[in-house]
Amino acid sequence: MTFDATQMDVVFKALADPTRRLLLDRLREHNGQTLRELCERLNMARQSATQHLDVLERASLVTVVRRGRERLHYLNPVPIHEIEQRWIAEFDRPRLHAISAIKNQAEEHAMSDGPASVPTYVYVTYIRASAEQVWQALTSADLTARYWGHANVSDWRPGSTWEHRRVDGSGAVDVAGRVIEATPPTRLAITFDDAAAPGTTREASVVTFVVEPHQDIVRLTVTHEKLADQTALDAISHGWPAVLANLKSLLETGDVLPQAPWEMSHEHA
């Protein structure tokens, strides 16, 4: 979904306040924080922080995920991406990418000795489709093969297995898992097990899809938890936006984006 002028105004208003920008910076450093954690890090009163977070949530810059009685706050990059696409992408992308690569390399070197922290990854996108269409796109082997590059095969019943099969004719399975929860068309939770490394003792990661319909728009939230390490987090942080952009394009235009889809291998789960 491309933001219209009114929605863009809400985003710019949210970003105009230095306190809200600081909250986003803190979530960028450590995603998935509770209100208490954010208040402690910023020495801010709960009421003030709540008001600022409400503004950021209305602007879709922050996504809230409930865990029991707690509300975890995650930075949502979609509105920033919309701004980048509208005013930057077509003008000076090659030079900015080069500068960004140099900056990222320096930051990675500076942070290499710091404490490891692997937060849960959350991504939100808006799709002009029905909840049923999004559910079908998530669970259809034929559709996942088109936008994901692998066919996701299962009967999608709780307790059943599912397989992430290659579509190159080999039938090889790169990732497998089981269905934890399936409530069509609004919620699907699955485990990701490394099919290429049987016998591994590490716990499988977990992906949850939440589909929230509103008129002709669907809000799709993808939460990826229990990641193995920072390398896995970095991989899925690049992978999920590509997969979901392809899904969105397929449902809204009937075709995927003109680029190779991200293929989720055991390195990305």
Cα gap 174→158, rounded to integer Å = 21
User: What phi and psi values does residue 230 have, to the nearest 5 degrees?
Assistant: -65, -35
CB 156 within 8 A of CB 145: no
Whether the Cβ atoms of residue 62 and residue 32 lie closer than 8 Å to each other? no
Between CA 248 and CA 119 the distance in angstroms is: 25
pLDDT in tens, the chain (269 residues): 455 667 788 899 999 999 999 999 999 888 889 999 999 988 889 999 999 999 999 998 999 988 888 899 998 877 877 776 666 555 555 544 554 544 444 434 333 333 445 458 888 888 999 999 999 999 999 999 999 999 999 999 999 999 999 998 888 999 999 999 999 999 999 998 865 444 555 688 999 999 999 878 898 999 999 888 888 888 888 889 889 989 999 999 999 887 544 444 444 44
Reference 220, options 244, 192, 191; nearest CA is 244
Kindly report the pTM of this predicted structure: 0.66
What is the CB-side half-sphere exposure of residue 149 using CA atoms within 13 A? 16
Q: Which domains does the chain have, with CATH numbers?
A: 1-115 (1.10.10.10), 121-268 (3.30.530.20)
